Structure 1
Amino acid sequence: MDVASYQAADYSTRGLDFAFIKITEGTTYTNPKWVAERKTARDASLVTGFYHFIRPGSVTEQADFFLSRITLRAGDILALDWEDPGVSSDQKDAWIRYVQKKAPGHRVILYANYDYWINRDRSSFAGDGLWIAHYNGKPGNPGIKAPWRFHQYTSTPIDTNVGNFTDKAALLAWAGAPYVPPAFPAGLAPGKHTPSAKPLQKALRAAGFLSITDADLSDTYGPGTQAGVGHFFAAHPEFRSQGKPHDVAIGPRGWAYLFTLAYDQK
């Protein structure tokens, strides 16, 4: 979702992977809730993005005002909210390019609604990615030919978005965030039925230790998953339980290393 001063600082993060937070507008307005809204996002381990609502006037002064309000962390995404008809396509391009130079290492993207992108844009420039707003009720299908990274598909009951990424790990890698493997789940064991078996199977597949299709993913830590864990241990025996040459039960250390091996793209 994306939030501004209209939303509560302790908005619900259930089911979310990322959040965009409004910080500034023009050269005088700062969202009084943005720090608390950022805390809510980071407490939930969401990928965080921050945006500036551009108004007519100096684009560099507005960019400097925006950047002066925040101490950036690796993986933070920066966005320009282009909705004012008094701001030209050239000006939005200049803002994005200026921020890219001032904040190297951070993705800088453009937020624009369907009308602005189709009818007002003159350059097809969106920095590191286009965040397109088109309330067409089709999440992930914004109805444009240009590549896009985020689609805001509804404003009911709150502005809600979907990212064009295979999963959160891919979003983290794109944003440049340091990879943190998920916590080892309680109850994960061979032969057990648990939702954490699917992430394990996906990580084994991504790391090359298990050949499985999405249709074959299961909540059961069955023979196939056990075989995949066995292949992982064969390649990395330091994570196998001592005295168990045929161990198929992954533990916290092996889990963390497997997920880092599978998804850390740095």
Structure 2
Amino acid sequence: MGIYGQDWASYQSATPETTGLAFAIVKVTEGPDYTNPRFAQQRAHAHAAGLVVGLYHYPHMADSPAAEADRFLKIAQPKAGEFVVLDWEGYDKSNSGVPKATQIAYRDAWLKHVKEKLPHAPVGLYANVDYWTNVDRTSNCGDFLWIATAGRAAGAPGIEHEWMFHQYSASDVDHDYCRLADADALRSWVASFAPKPAPAPAKPAVSLANVIAAARHDPKAAQGAALHRADVQVVEKALVAEGLLRSEWSDGSFGTKTVGAYGAWQRRCGYQGTDADGIPGRDSLGKLAAKHGFLVH
């Protein structure tokens, strides 16, 4: 179980072969001033092939993590459905001589800064086993870990920490494995970081029996009597919206003004005579409810 992908940089073509792949992780920037010249084409190519897309930055860890992160974000402009990675390794001359403590501080600051900018996207860390075991001190990998152990079987990186991606082979192209079951599961995982839509507000509900009782009781009682105020107010609000009841008479009392307004609604529904006497029935009240967003029980 699991899915396969690749990570691409400028030494891959602008349109790598995608057969059998579920995802691609594309290098965007390096240090303070380098941009992968094939980034835009590789990203578009991956999306066109239906792949889930990740975007990564390679750091120069003597520089400002915030400045490098901001430049990466300005160029990458991550889209919904994409994930972001810091490629945390430092074997080239740009990172030689940078103390391990500074490398750790860079990692933590970059991940924090980017997550603050992208709170609704996965922001994670790439590290090989050497960096993960000999440089790391806190196991901070942001939202997920992409671990590199070239030469091991896909999906068996040989570490204890939970991981999401495994780079298991590095040759002319880097080969990667994701522990999720399929591409849809990976898309769902990325989407799980997005804000949840606010639940639709509950529709008010009125009791037909209560409304009928109020329509029969309130007109005969003292001025302003309200047998079932909450139910009646929902109905009156709808009658006001229909232009059949003046707002100052919408007080929760099913008095003569409300009875008259409801009779007008019944006639609007096609009823005549005693069927339009202003006493609600299930059909007419159901039509009013459907139009004005409340429930009848």
Q: Which residue of 2 aligns with 1:35?
A: 40
Structure 2: which amino acid aligns with 1:59?
Answer: P
Indicate conservation of the 8 Å contact 2:32/2:67, yes or no: yes
- SS of 1:165 mapped into structure 2: coil
- SS of 2:76 mapped into structure 1: coil
Q: Which residue of 2 aligns with 1:234?
A: none
Q: Which residue of 2 aligns with 1:138?
A: 153
Matched, 1:79 2:85: yes
Matched, 1:156 2:155: no
1:187-220: CA deviations, max 9, x gaps? xxxxxxxxxxxxxxxxxxxxxxxxxxxxxxxxxx
Structure 2: which amino acid aligns with 1:132?
Answer: I
Matched, 1:12 2:21: no
Q: Which residue of 1 aligns with 2:120?
A: 105
Indicate conservation of the 8 Å contact 1:76/1:177, yes or no: no
Matched, 1:69 2:69: no
Indicate conservation of the 8 Å contact 1:150/1:161, yes or no: yes
Q: Which residue of 2 aligns with 1:22?
A: 27
Q: Within 2, Cα distance between the matches of 1:101 and 1:41? A: 26
Q: Within 2, Cα distance between the matches of 1:47 and 1:71? A: 16
1:143-168: CA deviations, max 9, x gaps? 00000000000013410000011211
Structure 2: which amino acid aligns with 1:126?
Answer: C
Cα offset for 1:59?
0.3
Q: Within 2, Cα distance between the matches of 1:110 and 1:132? A: 8
Q: Within 1, Cα distance between the matches of 2:115 and 2:167? A: 23
Superposition RMSD on alpha carbons, in Å? 1.4
Q: Within 2, Cα distance between the matches of 1:115 and 1:54? A: 17
Structure 2: which amino acid aligns with 1:66?
Answer: F
Count the aligned residue pairs.
178
Indicate conservation of the 8 Å contact 2:124/2:145, yes or no: yes
Q: Within 2, Cα distance between the matches of 1:101 and 1:150? A: 23
- Over the matched positions of the two proteins, sequence identity in percent amounts to 43
* Alignment match of 1:44 (pick from 32, 40, 49): 49
Q: Within 1, Cα distance between the matches of 2:103 and 2:69? A: 16
Q: Within 1, Cα distance between the matches of 2:47 and 2:30? A: 23
- SS of 2:11 mapped into structure 1: coil
Indicate conservation of the 8 Å contact 1:75/1:177, yes or no: no
Alignment of 1:1-266 (within 5 A): 1-55=6-60, 56-84=62-90, 85=95, 86=98, 88-176=103-191
Structure with higher RCO (Cα < 8 A, 6+ apart): 2
Hey, which bits of structure 1, 4+ residues long, moved more than 3 A? Answer: none
Cα offset for 1:48?
0.3
Q: Which has the larger radius of gyration?
A: 2
Q: Within 2, Cα distance between the matches of 1:52 and 1:170? A: 25
Indicate conservation of the 8 Å contact 1:89/1:120, yes or no: yes
Structure 1: which amino acid aligns with 2:20?
Answer: G
Cα offset for 1:136?
2.8
Q: Within 1, Cα distance between the matches of 2:84 and 2:21? A: 18
Cα offset for 1:90?
2.0
Cα distance change, pair 148–141 in 1 and its aligned pair in 2 (3 A):
same
Cα offset for 1:52?
0.3
